[in-house]
Structure formats: C-alpha cells, structure tokens
Structure 1
Amino acid sequence: MTVTADTFVQDWEDWYAKHQRVLGDPHGFLAITSLNWLDENPQRFPDAPGAWSTGPNGVVVELDPGEELVVDGEPVTGRHSFGVIAERASLYPKSGDAVIEVAKRGGNDIIRPRHPENPLRANFDGTPAYAPDPRWVATGVYVPFDEPRPTTVGAAVEGLQHVYDAPGELRFTLEDREFTLTAFNGHQPGTLSVLFTDATSGVTTYAANRSLSVDAPAEDGSVTVDFNRAANLPCAYTDLATCPLPPAENRLPIAIEAGEKIPTERL
C-alpha cells in the first residue's frame, strides 16, 4: 500500500471515529427518550419537568414548585417563555443530567428530552460500515443556481415536510456514469450537504436516506465527492427523529457500496 493509500485509510478512520463519538454523545440523538408535539394546551411528559405549550408568542413551560430548568446557565422556575423558535433551530435547557431540546421542525414546535442513560445511547458500540475504497471518490464540479431554489422534501415522520434552499448542484462521474445531485447548504459556511439513496438502500444501507458532507468548492468550482463518508442520519437509529428525505433527483440507480451501513440497532 502506498503512502497515499495509507493516508486515505487513516483519514477515513479518523472521520469514522469522530462520527461515532458524536453519535455516542451523552446528549446526542441516541439519548432522545420521546418526541412531543406541542399545541396551545399545556401538556406534561414523564421525561421532562413542567407543562409545555405553544402559541403565537412561542413555546412556554409552566414549572411546578420544586421543578427547575437551567437556561443559558441560569436556573428558572415558574413560568418561562422560550419565545418563537426559528425553523430547524433548537434550544437545550438542562434538567439535572438531561437536556430538554426545544425546537421547531416542519413548522411545528416540539420538545425532545435527551437522557444519557437511555438504553439506545448507553448500549451503542458503533455503526457497521464498508471498508474505505478509493473507487468511491469522484472529482466533480459544483454548479450554483442563479438563485437558491426552495426544495420541498418529505420527512421520516409521516405527514411532515421540510423546505430547504438548494444553492446548486454537484455534477460528477462515478463508475463510468455521469450523475447530478441537488445540494443543500452544509453546517459550516461554504460547505455543502447531499441527501441521497442508492441501490444498496434497504439492502445493506438504511432505506430512507444517507447524507454526504462536501467541502467548500475550490475557486474553479471543483469538489471532491467521497461516498466513503456517507453517513446515516439520526432516523436510521431512532424513530424519534424528523430527518428529511432526499429529493427525487438524488435517488442514484447504482449500488454505492461505501460509507455507513444499516445500524445494528435496526437489524
């Protein structure tokens, strides 16, 4: 194996190890114990303090005597308003060793308590994955749209939809075939994110979706599309996630035998 190949494998192993650490975080998605949809009627849930509701002024919690949340480092009691939460935003007030995620998804306000002792998280020992293989790395080009295109996609939760602004598309050749994928904005400025399925979906990889992060394009628009880093979204592990599904054009007809496989928890 050449030094270049050694570096390729080591870089992938570093990426994989970091990704598994994030999944196993004490307050990560595997720690979620319930998904609760809020309305104007105050509701109590067994895994979170307080009675929760929402309305035109945003999410409100009413804490009984003896109940407490820590918001931005400050303890709060009684009635507390979180205000109007932006779409896809989340707040994380603390309750003992747990956090109570307060969020908006698909236009709906929700809370998702996250407890480190949740068995899904406590028993997590990593995700099966294909061995890294350079054949699944393509050099492509990013083609921006004249204006971002609002793109509506389905969700892991039935009846829910997400709308993302797609800034452009990725064009590349893989297995001697040309492909185009709609790209969304990534977590870091300038980076891109792709949701896709392929012929392995539902066979060796999670059926609904996988995601791929792509570094910011070079000045000439060139990008590296490395399917070895195709990762599961939270819905691959838990039914308490609201993950988006890929747009129709991102359903690849070939078998991408790279990246993360179906989690052990779903086998």
Structure 2
Amino acid sequence: MSTDAQQAGRDGHEPQNWQKWHEQRVGSVSAPYGPLSLTGTHWLGDHPDGRLPAVPGSWVPDGDEVVLTAGPEDVLTVDGKPFTGSIRLTTDHAPIPESRVAHGRRRLVVLRREGLWAVRDFDPDSPARRTFEGIEATAYDPRWAVPGTFRAYPESRSVRVENADGRERGLGLGGEITFPLDGVEHTLRVAVEQDGSLWAVFADATSGNGSYRFRFLRPPAPAADGTVTVDFNRSLLPPCAFADHFICPFPPPGNTLAVEIAAGERNLRDR
C-alpha cells in the first residue's frame, strides 16, 4: 500500500479515534479524584503554625519530610487505618486514590516543588465536580494534524516562567519541534517525558478569545530520525482550567503562536 493510501486509511478512522479519545478524556476529568476534585493547594510555608484551612491535623515541614500530627478529633486515616499521633511523610507518588492520608472520602496529598512543601486536598464532592457540564472541544479536522521534526537540545535547560498561582518556577525543556501550518513553519519548545513523549505548553491567537488562555500538547515519542506527528486536535486544557488550585506553568518564551489553533479542547462547557 502506498504512503498516501496508508495516510488516507488512518485519516478515515481518525475522527472516530478522536471521538473515543475525547469521551475518555471527559471521563478521566470527571472521575472522583480527577482534576475537578482539587479544592486546595496549601503551601506549608504560608502556615508556620502547621494548621491549614479546612484540613485536619498539623502539617510541619522538617527537612526532607513533613511531620503530620493528629488527634482523634481529626478523624484521619493513614494507609487505610485510623491515625493519631505523629508520622513523617514524604512526597506522594501513588495515584491520588492511593495517597497515604485521608479524611473520609477526601485525599490529602503531600507535594514538593523546588524545595517547598504543600498539601493538596482532593474531594470527590467538590462544587466544581458537581457542576461540571463537559469540555467544549472542536471536532477532528485533518488540517490540524501535521508532520513535525524534533530536535533535542545538547543539554536540557530550564527557563523561569510564571505559574497559574502567580509564582515563578522553573520549566524544564529538552528540545524543539518544528512543523508547518498553512505553509508557514512554526516552532514549539518542549519538555521530554520519561517515556520519550513530548510536552508543550502553548498559546495561540485564540487564547483568551475562543479558547482557554493557554493549553497543553502531548505529541508521542519521536521516531529515531526525529519525525513526529503534531496533532492539535488533541490539544488539552491544563489542570488549572478545571480547578484554580493547580500551579500550571504558563507558556515559555517562543511558545505563543501567531496563528488561530481552532482545534482540540477549547474551554469548559457552560451550564
């Protein structure tokens, strides 16, 4: 089969594949411990007494650990068992439902960023989850799936960018992808994930005017020769579009495209 025929076959199935992807994405977002359930990210440095707003127990950073102290009145569990006393915790790496500390259905997740500790509060009964109506997304259009080329940097680099919570943090970058849109070449700076896939934080001419203020793109791992498909049909809303308590990075310099990317996830659906 020729390359053109193979591509035609893929394109013939791609609208169905995209619809399945979109439905799975809505299901993941609206799951009990999906991003809609995040009701707070509490930085321990902002609460030197160890008491966090609406979070039981006392949480005090101590070097590379956090000391949690709780009494019977706090009604906390650790590793699924009722907990009183003190325990030293490190960063939670397990899926949110399996995090060590819980208060009823809520999951209290220990987080560390650039040496600073925080506790995240995930509540399946959050108002955002109860009122969620879906994701506004543009149906698949082959125009937005284009061939790209990845070029790795000789060494990984980090740039400081503002985050959604107003603080500035480092964003690691491993290379760039170049790709054509309507005959014009564009470039996005990307991070390289552990599995080799790519991650871009980008804005475009629709950002804040028809689409959320910025979005994510996650191309697959490039082939050995650097070729990779750049499919804006699978543009993603960042977690902070679903809950204000996420600390999503804004696009790094160079990742605001002067073109309207009218594709993929655009906004939350209004009630």
Query: How far apart, in 2, do the equivalents of 1:55 and 1:41 lie?
Result: 13
Q: Is the 8 A contact 1:184 1:192 kept in 2?
A: yes
Q: Which runs of 5+ in 2 are unaligned?
A: 1-7
Query: How far apart, in 2, do the equivalents of 1:149 and 1:8 lie?
Result: 35
Q: Pick one of 34, 38, 41 that aligns with 2:40.
A: 34
Other structure's SS at 2:15 match:
helix
Task: Say yes or no: does 1:77 pair with 2:80.
Answer: no
Query: How far apart, in 1, do the equivalents of 2:52 and 2:71 lie?
Result: 11
Paired amino acid for 1:155 = N
Q: Pick one of 89, 112, 118 that aligns with 1:104.
A: 112
Q: Is the 8 A contact 1:105 1:242 kept in 2?
A: no
Q: Pick one of 180, 200, 212 that aligns with 1:173.
A: 180
The alpha-carbon deviation at position 264 of structure 1 amounts to 2.9
- Name the structure 1 match of 2:235: 230
Other structure's SS at 2:57 match:
strand
- Name the structure 2 match of 1:205: 211
Q: Is the 8 A contact 1:142 1:223 kept in 2?
A: yes
Q: Pick one of 164, 167, 190 that aligns with 1:156.
A: 164
Give the TM-score of the pair, scaled to structure 2. 0.88
Task: Say yes or no: does 1:53 pair with 2:60.
Answer: yes
Query: How far apart, in 2, do the equivalents of 1:5 and 1:178 lie?
Result: 22
> RMSD of the alignment, in Å?
2.3
Q: Is the 8 A contact 1:106 1:161 kept in 2?
A: no
Q: Pick one of 184, 195, 198 that aligns with 1:189.
A: 195
Q: Which runs of 5+ in 1 are unaligned?
A: none
- Name the structure 2 match of 1:22: 28
Q: Cα distance 1:258–1:156, how it changes in 2: closer, same or farther (>3 A)? A: same
- Name the count of aligned residue pairs: 259
Write the deviation string for residues 37-91 of structure 1: whole angstroms up to 9, x where unpaired. 2134221432x321222232432221012434444445432111114x499x988
Q: Cα distance 1:216–1:4, how it changes in 2: closer, same or farther (>3 A)? A: closer
Paired amino acid for 1:219 = A
Query: How far apart, in 2, do the equivalents of 1:131 and 1:57 lie?
Result: 46
Query: How far apart, in 1, do the equivalents of 2:71 and 2:84 lie?
Result: 8
Other structure's SS at 1:19 match:
helix
